[in-house]
């Protein structure tokens, strides 16, 4: 067993001991991660529990925000260019838009019923191949979208054991988080990715020191804009008035 396999094995144990499930071998996920150029997050059920009600906004956590930022930084260090990061929601979600703008994600897709269209749009707009997209999802309406991507992370929900079995049996996800959204599943998935990339320590060291490398990354990140899109008929179109 090579040093790389030993390192991946050590990383894997941290997550399996916590309750994470590797549907695809961790070594395969690590290989796929090296080709990822875009990350697509579903919103409700991923960054929050998906609870809704009149006057009840959706939420996000700073722990998940830090995780997504460190993952973007790792991809930036690897490729010397920003990865494409986007959020998708089936609803007109103001909090998702607020978060994406604050974090300078490149895109927010709102009111999208057929989420496969988002994959087509990302690939066309950013010259991506499907295998270069990682998808974080949680429910039935996300499955067709996730199935098109090169790497699929399912956020755990203990109330959906049959759905979990379904995606495992059909090989529609590669890893199932140990944590649910209320316990920072996004942070877990980002740390897993950093670990399997072999970049966790160097990214944390750099951010903690706020060194020149991190400052260059952050300056480039902050210079970007967040575009907002919606679904009209079977097309993704720009949502006017929602640009940065």
Which range marks the domain in which residue 205 is found? Answer: 3-223
- Residue 128 domain-assigned? yes
pLDDT at 161: 96
- Average the pLDDT over each of 135-144, 183-192, 196-205, 229-238 and give the range with the smallest value: 229-238
In a domain, 236, yes or no: no
- Residue 15 in any domain: the answer is yes
Over range 164-174, report the average pLDDT: 97
Is the pLDDT confidence value at 3 over 60? no
pTM of this prediction?
0.93
- Candidates 220, 243, 239; CA nearest to 121 is 239
Confidence check: pLDDT of 55 > 80: no
Q: What CATH number does residue 144 fall under?
A: 3.40.50.1000
Residue 231 lies in a domain: no
The total number of structural domains in the chain stands at: 1
């Amino acid at each position: 067993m090579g040093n790389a396999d030993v390192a991946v094995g050590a990383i894997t144990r941290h997550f399996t001991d916590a309750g994470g499930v590797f549907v695809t071998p961790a070594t395969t996920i690590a290989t796929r991660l090296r080709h990822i150029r875009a990350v697509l997050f579903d919103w409700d059920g991923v960054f929050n529990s998906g609870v809704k009600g009149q006057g009840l906004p959706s939420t996000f956590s700073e722990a998940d925000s830090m995780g997504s930022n460190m993952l973007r930084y790792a991809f930036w260090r690897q490729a010397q260019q920003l990865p494409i990061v986007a959020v998708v929601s089936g609803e007109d979600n103001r909090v998702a838009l607020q978060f994406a703008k604050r974090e300078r994600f490149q895109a927010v897709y709102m009111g999208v019923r057929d989420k496969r269209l988002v994959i087509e749009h990302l690939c066309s707009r950013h010259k991506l191949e499907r295998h270069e997209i990682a998808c974080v999802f949680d429910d039935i309406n996300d499955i067709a979208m996730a199935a098109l991507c090169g790497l699929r992370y399912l956020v755990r929900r203990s109330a959906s054991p049959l759905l979990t079995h379904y995606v495992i049996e059909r090989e529609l996800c590669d890893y199932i988080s140990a944590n649910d959204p209320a316990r920072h599943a996004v942070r877990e998935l980002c740390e897993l990715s950093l670990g399997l990339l072999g970049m966790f320590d160097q990214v944390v060291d750099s951010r903690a020191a706020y060194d020149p490398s991190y400052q260059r990354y952050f300056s480039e990140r902050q210079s970007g804009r967040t575009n907002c899109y919606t679904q009209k008929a079977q097309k993704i179109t720009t949502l006017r008035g929602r640009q940065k």
